[in-house]
């Protein structure tokens, strides 16, 4: 096995990059199919959920997916004041 000789800071950056790539592939993402089946999307930062048709439904931070209103409320999310789900 050959060990590449490179400066420590580059080697550290390479190791971090490899771990990040492994982590990205290991964590399941919300698929397009999941989004189509869901009725509500929740914003993980603001803890507000939206119904399909709301202008904030597809926001970049709305990565929580709920099938029912009760599921969203049970997870600690508040209903959107615009779409009033």
**Residue 16 belongs to some domain of the structure:** no
Does residue 34 contact residue 65 with C-beta atoms inside 8 Å? yes
**Residue 85 belongs to some domain of the structure:** no
Does residue 75 contact residue 66 with C-beta atoms inside 8 Å? yes
Q: Does residue 55 have a pLDDT over 70?
A: yes
Between vectors from CA 63 to CA 28 and to CA 24, what angle results, nearest 5°? 30
The pTM of the full predicted model, rounded to 2 decimals, is 0.56
| HSE-CB of 83 using CA atoms within 13 angstroms | 19
Looking at the structure of the chain, the number of domains it has is 1
Parent domain of 39: 32-79
Q: Does residue 57 have a pLDDT over 60?
A: yes
Per-residue confidence (pLDDT) for residue 11, from 0 to 100: 76
Among 5-19, 29-43, 44-58, name the most confident range. Answer: 44-58
């Amino acid at each position: 096995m050959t060990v590449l000789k490179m400066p420590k800071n580059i080697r550290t950056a390479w190791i971090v990059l490899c771990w990040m790539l492994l982590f990205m592939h290991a964590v399941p993402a919300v698929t397009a199919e999941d989004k189509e089946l869901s009725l509500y999307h929740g914003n993980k930062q603001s803890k507000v959920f939206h119904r399909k048709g709301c202008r904030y439904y597809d926001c970049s931070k709305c990565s929580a997916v709920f099938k029912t209103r009760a599921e969203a409320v049970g997870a600690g999310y508040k209903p959107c004041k615009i779409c009033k789900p």
